[in-house]
C-alpha cells in the first residue's frame, strides 16, 4: 500500500522498508503492519490530540515528569508550546512504560524505536503467524478463561512491582498470542507511587479482567485480586511471584465521596470509549 505521510519519514530514515497494510484504528492511534528487513513489525501512529476520542485526563497525567521547568510552566499555562510538550509527553509515556515493563519481564510488545510520533514495535502474532486477536474477539472455555485470567493477574502484579499501573486495561487492549496474553496500549500508564489515582485505576483494571473472564468462568466474579495485591504493594510485601488468593477482607472506614464520583465519571468515559471501539471500521 502507499505509505501514509506519517510513515514516509521512517522509510526515508531506513527504519522501515515498506508498509504492508493498516491493522487497526483505535481511540488514540492507527496501527500499521510494516516490513523492516526480514522482519514484520507494527508501527503505531499517534493521532493528534484534536483527533482522539481519548483525552489526556488529569488523573492520568498527574505527576508525569517533563524535561525541564520551562516545559512544565508552559504545560500548566496551556500555551501552544505547552500543548505540544504535553502531547510529546503523552506519546513518550507509552515508550517509557514499554521499555520499563519489558525489562521487568512483563508480556508487552518489544519496542524498537520511537520517531516523530510513531512507535515501531513487535508485531504480536497467533499460531498461524497472523496478527493476534484481541481478547474481546475470542470465546473461551471455562478452563481457558481461568488460565488466561491467572496469567494476566500475574502480569498485573509484575507491572505493579515495576511501579506501573496500566490505567485502561480491558479485553480491548490485550492480545491473545500463540503463547498467551500480551498487554498493549500503554500511553495512559501511571506511576503507582506518584499518582494519587493509581489505586483506583488498578482496582478497575483488575475488575475488568474478572468481569470479562467471569462471562466464561463465573467463579471469577467473586474474586478480589485487586484489593489484595494493592494491600501487599502498600505494605511493601508484593513480589512478582507472590501467591494471591483472590480474597480480601474489607476494613471499615469513611467513604471518599470525591473518589466515588470520579470513579463514576471514569466508568462513563470508559463506556463511551468502549462503544466507539465497537463501531465497525471503514473498509480498507
Q: How far apart are CA 68 and CA 93, in angstroms?
A: 16
Ranges of H-type helices in 78-141:
80-103
In Å, how far are 30, 45, 66, 140 from 117, measured between CA atoms? 11, 6, 17, 36
List Cα–Cα distances, 270 to 114, 156, 264, 273, in angstroms. Answer: 27, 19, 10, 5
- Among 129, 134, 190, 184, residue whose Cα is nearest residue 155: 184
Residue 142's nearest CA partner among 245, 215, 212 is 215
Whole-number Cα distances in Å, 85 to 79, 81, 92, 193: 10, 6, 10, 23
Cβ(221)–Cβ(214) under 8 Å?
Answer: yes
Instruction: Just list the catalytic residues.
Output: 168, 185
Beta pairing, strands 39-46 & 118-122: antiparallel
Amino acid at each position: 500500500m502507499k505509505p501514509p505521510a506519517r510513515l514516509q519519514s521512517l522509510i526515508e530514515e531506513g527504519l522501515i522498508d515498506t508498509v504492508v497494510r493498516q491493522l487497526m484504528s483505535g481511540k488514540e492511534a492507527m496501527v500499521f503492519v510494516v516490513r523492516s528487513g526480514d522482519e514484520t513489525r507494527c508501527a503505531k501512529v499517534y493521532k493528534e490530540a484534536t483527533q482522539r476520542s481519548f483525552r489526556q485526563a488529569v488523573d492520568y497525567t498527574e505527576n508525569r515528569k517533563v524535561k525541564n521547568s520551562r516545559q512544565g510552566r508552559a504545560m500548566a499555562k496551556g500555551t501552544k508550546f505547552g500543548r505540544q510538550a504535553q502531547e510529546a509527553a503523552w506519546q513518550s509515556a507509552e515508550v517509557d512504560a514499554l521499555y520499563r515493563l519489558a525489562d521487568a519481564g512483563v508480556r508487552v510488545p518489544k519496542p524498537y524505536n520511537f520517531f516523530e510520533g510513531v512507535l515501531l514495535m513487535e508485531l504480536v502474532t497467533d499460531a498461524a503467524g497472523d496478527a493476534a486477536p484481541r481478547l474481546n474477539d475470542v470465546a473461551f472455555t471455562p478452563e481457558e478463561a481461568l488460565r488466561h485470567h491467572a496469567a494476566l493477574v500475574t502480569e498485573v502484579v509484575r507491572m505493579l512491582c515495576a511501579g506501573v499501573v496500566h490505567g485502561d486495561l480491558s479485553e480491548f487492549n490485550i492480545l491473545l498470542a500463540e503463547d498467551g496474553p500480551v498487554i498493549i496500549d500503554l500511553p495512559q500508564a501511571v506511576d503507582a507511587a506518584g499518582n494519587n489515582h493509581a489505586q483506583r485505576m488498578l482496582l478497575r483494571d483488575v475488575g475488568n479482567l474478572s468481569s470479562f473472564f467471569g462471562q466464561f468462568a463465573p467463579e471469577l466474579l467473586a474474586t478480589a485480586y485487586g484489593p489484595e495485591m494493592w494491600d501487599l504493594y502498600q505494605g511493601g510485601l508484593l513480589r512478582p511471584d507472590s501467591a494471591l488468593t483472590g480474597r480480601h477482607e474489607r476494613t471499615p472506614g469513611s467513604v471518599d465521596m470525591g473518589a466515588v464520583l470520579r470513579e463514576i465519571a471514569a466508568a462513563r468515559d470508559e463506556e463511551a470509549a468502549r462503544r466507539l471501539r465497537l463501531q465497525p471500521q471503514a473498509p480498507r
